[in-house]
Amino acid sequence: SGMHARKDHPHIVKVIEYFEDAESYYLVMELCTGPDLFTYIVESMQAPGGGGFLPEREVSVILRQCLKAVLCCHGNGFVHRDLNAKNFMFTGSDRTLKLIDFGLAARFRGLLPQARLLEVVGTSHYMAPEMMADGQYSPAADLWSLGVLLYVLLTGLML
């Protein structure tokens, strides 16, 4: 995607190579050994002594990484349109999060500030109200999705 043509970002999965043939497109991407954020939240909250929630300090570290990835997307003229706990993946034991799955991403740069993308896509529990109501989508809807993710991180209530 065009987003991956931009410079590397520490919180966005890297595309290493791209191929295509008459029938398919192929992406070779950076290995993220996981888990995804959804699995991490569930496992952390079920762990003995976990208390059923993540500590606020850890939530802050996680959310900061998510925000940096989304701000990079927006700064490069893209909306992700499917931000949720399953689309952030840990690279390994160092706890670095990467935003993955740009299959629904859309370009918005060049549109007027009041312009909206008109298409209902994404994970319903994370969708902004305006998207559910009439399919309008702007970069602000990605921020709504991050707010839902923050709620999940702080409460442990999985949506």
**Mean of the per-residue pLDDT values for the chain?**
82
Arithmetic mean of pLDDT, 33-56:
85
User: Which tokens sit at 43?
Assistant: 């496992």
How do residues 79-105 score in pLDDT, each as one tens digit?
888 899 999 999 987 889 999 998 888
Domain map of the chain by residue range?
2-155
Alpha carbon distance, N-terminus to C-terminus of the chain: 28
Active site (catalytic) residues: 82
Fold classification of 2-155 is Transferase(Phosphotransferase); domain 1 (1.10.510)
CA neighbor of 62 nearest in space, from 82, 42, 40 = 40
Give the residue with greater pLDDT, 30 vs 137: 30
Q: What angle do CA 75, 123, 108 make, to 5 degrees?
A: 25
Q: What is the pTM of this model?
A: 0.80
